[in-house]
Chains A and B, each alone.
Chain A
Amino acid sequence: MNDAVKQPKALFQFSDQRLQYQGRTVLDNLSLSIASGERVALIGESGAGKSTLLKALREQRPDQVAWCPQQPGLVPILSTFHNIYMGALSSHSLAYNLVNLIKPLPGALNIVEPIAKQLGLEQHLFSSTDKLSGGQQQRTSIGRALIQQRGIFLGDEPVANVDEYQGVALLQLICQSHDTVVLALHDIAQALSICTRIIGLQDGAIVLDAPSEQLQASDLAGLYGAS
C-alpha cells in the first residue's frame, strides 16, 4: 500500500478535510486517497458517514462517476427502459431525447435492452417503475449507472434490496464494467469477497483501512454495535 513506486495516480484525494451533511460535521480530519483500479468497500453503522463520504467523492469527479444512490430516485410513471436510458441523456441531442420519451427509438433500445437483460429486467422493460419491486427498482438504478459507461462506480448500498445470491452477481457485474468501484455495504461477506480494500468508518473517523485479503469477517464485526 505504501509502496510509492507502484502506487498509481490517485483518483480521489482528501487531506485533513471536514465533511458536513446538512450543516452537521459528519467526518472530521479526513485524509484518504483512492487510486484508479481499486475496489473499495465502505463499512460502518448507519450514520457513520458512508453516504456523506460517497457524496464528497462524487463531487470531486462528477463527470467520471456513475452514481447509484441508496434511494434509487427513479421517475415513477416512466418505464424501466426510460429510467435506464436517463443515464445516457447527456450523450444524445435534446431532440433525440424528447422523441425517445414519447416513442422509444431503435437506437436507444439497442443500448438499453442488453443492459436490462444483464440485470434480469427484460420482461419489465416497459413497465412503469412504480410497479416494480424494491429489488427490481434497485437493478434499474444500477442499469442507469451501467449505461453511462464510466470508469468509476459509486454505489450506496446498491444491492441492499435484492437477495444475497443476486447481490453478489450484481456486484460482480458492476466490477466487470468499471475500473474503480467504491461501495457502501452492510454485508461484510459481500465486501470481503468483492472488494480489494476495506475502509471502516466509526464516529466520524476512519478506524480501519486495509486490503481485504488481510482481513476476516471477525475483524469487521467490531465496527457494528460495540462502541
Chain B
Amino acid sequence: MALSTPKSGTPSGTNSNNSSASALRNISFWFAVSALICLLLVDIDIGTADPWAELGLMTAGALSPSVWSWPTLLSSLANTFAFALQGVTIAAIAGFVLALGYRFTLVRAFCAFIRSIHELFWALLFMQVAGLSSLTGLLAIAIPYAGTLAKIYGELFEEVDPAPANNLPHTASRLSHFFYSVVPLAWRSMATYTSYRFECAIRSSAILGFVGLPTLGFHLETALSDGHYSEAAAFFYALLLLIGTLRLWLHKRMLPIYLVAVFYYLPPQATISWQLLVRFVTEDIVPAPLRGQALLSGETSNNFVQWFNLLWQQQVWPGLVNTVLLGQISLVFTGLLALALLPLNSSLFIQRRWKRGIGDSILILLRTLPEYLLAFIGLLILGPSMLPAILALGIHNGAIIGHLLGRYTEELDLRADSSSGITLYFYEVLPRIYRQFLAFLFYRWEVILRETAILGILGIATLGFYIDSAFETFRFDVALLLILVSAALNISVDQFARYLRQRLQLKTVPESL
C-alpha cells in the first residue's frame, strides 16, 4: 500500500534545504577543522621535566592547607568581596543609565567598547595614574561590567511584553511610561543576571591580585610562585568558600548593610597626582613619534608609519595571531568538554539524586575556578606552552555551558519508549539541545577571546603578553595601542557570533552567561 503524498511536500526530498541539521553540522565541522589546523600551528608541548612531581606537590599542599596569617587571609578575603560588591553596584547603576539610551548606536558602541577591554587591562591602565589604590580596583571592575550590564539590561528592556506600555495613557511622560510598564517586567531577569555577574565579579576581583591589588589573587600568586602550596591552598579554599556560600548569606534584605560596610571598610580613594595624570593623557599614551611634533608635517607622519609598521610586525600581528589561534582551539575544546560534562547534572543520565548532586557539585566547582588561576597553576605543572591555557579556558567555560545544558535537558519531553544511556544521548538529547548548545557557545566566544588575550600576562604570547611587557617598560603608547587592538578583535568576534546566531536562527536571548 502506498499513500499519496500531500501536495505540500517538495518534489525532491533529498534536498539539503529540507534538513535543519545540515547547517548546524556544517558550522560545527568547520569550527572543528579550524581548531585542528590551529592546533598544528601552536606549541602545546609539556615544558617541565616531571609534571607529575609538581602535581604531586600541589596535591599534597591541597590536602594540607595552612594559614600563615589569619589577618592577611581575612583582609584579602574582605578586599576581594569589597571590590566586587562596589564594582558591581556602580556598574549596575551606570549600566542602567546607559541601557536607557541603548537604542542609540553610539551608546551601544560605547558599551561594546568598554566591555571589550578586560578588567585586568583596565587595572593596568588605572594603576599608572591612581597607583595600587582602592579606586583602581573599583574602576577596573565597574567599567567593563557597566558595559556588559548595559547590554543585558538594554536587551531585556527591548524584549518585554509591549502590551502594558501600549495600554498606558499617551499623556504620561516617557520616563514614567518606562518605569511603570517596562522596568517592573524586566526586573526579575535583571536581578538574576546581576547576581550572576556578581559571582563573576568576585572572580575578577580575586584575579586583580595577580597585578598587585590586595585581593586573594595577590597571595595566591606569591604562594604558588614560591611553591608554598599549603599556604596557597588556604587562599584557594577561601575563594571557593566565598563564592560557594554567597547564596547563604548575601540576601537581598541585607544588601544595603553590606554596601555601607564595604564602602566604609574600603573607601574608593587614591592619591592622584594631577601633574602625572595630565602627563599620562597628553604625553605617555600618545604614540612616541607624535609627541610634541607638528602633526601635519611629512616627517612626523613618516616616523609614525615607521613606528607603527615595526610595532605591527613585532607585536601586534604575532599577538593577534596567537590570540586568535588559542581562542579558536579553546572555543572548540570548551564545546567538546561541555557536551561531555552535561550528563553530570541531568536526570536523564544520572537517576539517583545523590549521585547527580555529586555531578552537579563537580560542575559548580569547575566553573567557580577562574581561568586565569587555572592557567597559572597549569603553567606551574606543565611548563610554558599554550596547553595550560587551553585546558584552563576549556575547563572553566566547558563547566559553565555543561551545567546550563544539563539543566536544559530536564525540560526535554521524551517519549516513554525512548532509549537510554549513550544511545539516548546521541539520538535524542544531542540533536534536541544542539541549537541551544551552539547559542551558549557563541555567547561565550567573546568571553573566551577576552580571557585568551589576558592569559598573555602569564607569559603565553597572546596580545596580553605584549601589553604587559609594554607596561613593564613604561611604553604606555604601545600598551594603549595593543589594548585597542584587542578591543577591536573582541568587538569583531562578538559581531561575527551575533551574525552566526541570527543565520542559524539560534535563540538570541542571553542566558546567565
Interface residues of A (CB under 8 A from B): 55, 58, 62, 65, 67, 69, 71, 73, 75-79, 82, 86, 89-90, 94, 97-98, 101, 117-128, 130-131, 133, 135-136, 139, 166, 169-170, 172-173
Contacts and interface: CB of A to CB of B under 8 A. Distances in A.
Interface in B403-435: 413-419, 422-423, 426-428, 431-432, 434-435
A135 B9 CA distance: 11
A38 B422 CA distance: 36
Contacts of B3: 118-120, 139, 166, 169-170
A131 B14 contact: no
Interface stretch (B16-24, B170-178, B234-242): B16-24
Contacts of B4: 120, 166
Given A75-B431, A127-B18, A117 B426 contact: no
A120 B18 contact: no
A214 to B, nearest CB: 29
Interface in B1-30: 1-6, 8-15, 18-21, 24
A130 B20 contact: yes
Interface of A is mostly: helix
A171 to B, nearest CB: 11
Contacts of A169: 1, 3
Contacts of A136: 6, 9
Contacts of B1: 118, 169, 172-173
Given A98-B426, A117-B2, A170-B3, A77 B21 contact: yes
Contact of A94 (B11, B19, B21, B422): B422
B415 A76 contact: no
A89 B19 contact: no
Contact of B431 (A76, A89, A125): A76
Given A69-B416, A120-B3, A127-B19, 10 more contacts: A58-B416, A76-B431, A77-B434, A79-B21, A118-B2, A127-B18, A128-B21, A133-B8, A136-B6, A166-B4
Contacts of A124: 5, 9, 13, 18
B416 A122 contact: no
B18 A77 contact: no
21 contacts: A58-B416, A67-B415, A67-B417, A75-B428, A76-B432, A77-B21, A77-B431, A78-B427, A78-B431, A82-B427, A86-B427, A120-B3, A122-B13, A124-B5, A124-B13, A124-B18, A126-B13, A127-B10, A128-B19, A133-B9, A139-B3
Contacts of A131: 18-20
Contacts of A79: 19, 21
Contacts of A121: 5
A108 to B, nearest CB: 13
A201 to B, nearest CB: 20
Nearest to A71: B413
Contact of A75 (B13, B18, B24, B432): B432
Nearest to A135: B6
Interface string B42-53: 000000000000
